[in-house]
Structure 1
Amino acid sequence: MSTISLERARTLLVPFNGKDRLQLDNASDRQEIAIALKALVAESDYQTLGVCAETAAAGYAALVQYLAAFGYTDGQDFPQDCGSDKEPIYIKFNTRNSQTYAEAYSGPSRGVLVCCHAVSEGSNTDIYGYLPLNLFD
């Protein structure tokens, strides 16, 4: 993985804070944002991911990609039958206890919120997103 300063990583992610559907139009921008996010996640103790997607399949696919990018390779076993795949969904996943919560979502936002949590002093605590669902495609 390329190295990036934490200050630079935070600066790159500021435009995403509180905005949904912000697009990354080229591969180098996508890669730079992905590297920045992974660097900041690595500085936290655990994360909560909030995924807002058009369908359950798209939401769970994004969740799996983000978890893999963050190094969670335990092969999370998410439900194959996610209910209706014709309505938007909100999925919340906590990496500390591997708990998943999902419900129908009627809001306009789409993307992934990454909340970094700290247990130990000096770890990163912040929220990044909404980030593109396909950031790690």
Structure 2
Amino acid sequence: MAPELIGGEELATIVMSAVAILVAISTLRLLIKILVLARTQYTIRDDAFHREYDLLYRTQSREIPVRKLRGHEYSQGRIQALLGFGTIRLLTAGTNRSLGFIEFEHLNDPERVRAEIRRVSTETRE
């Protein structure tokens, strides 16, 4: 790279350092996201939908009783569609901070999971 295009060697060094830091931060965030997804477990039981993950010393668990389910959303971005993944968001009448929702992110076979969610929620209503 020609430093004179940016405004001198000193400015070029600063810009390159800033770019390197941004790339490092983005890479670290992506690796953490991949690790969280790899350590996340989704469970569909006859009475509840459950999402749990643990990362080092942090564990997060969230559960929605089937009777509280009000609906679900299915989304699939372009990259997810190419790779065969999808995300299902289970919705309740609550807000995001209360019972609210659970996201089953980047599922390998989202159509199968969606059918199972429908089956469980239909059987509970009957």
TM-score category, normalised to shorter length: under 0.3
Greater fraction strand:
2
- Normalised TM-score (structure 2): 0.28
Greater RCO, CA 8 A, separation 6+: 1
Greater fraction helix:
2
- Computing the radius of gyration over CA atoms, which structure comes out larger, 1 or 2? 2
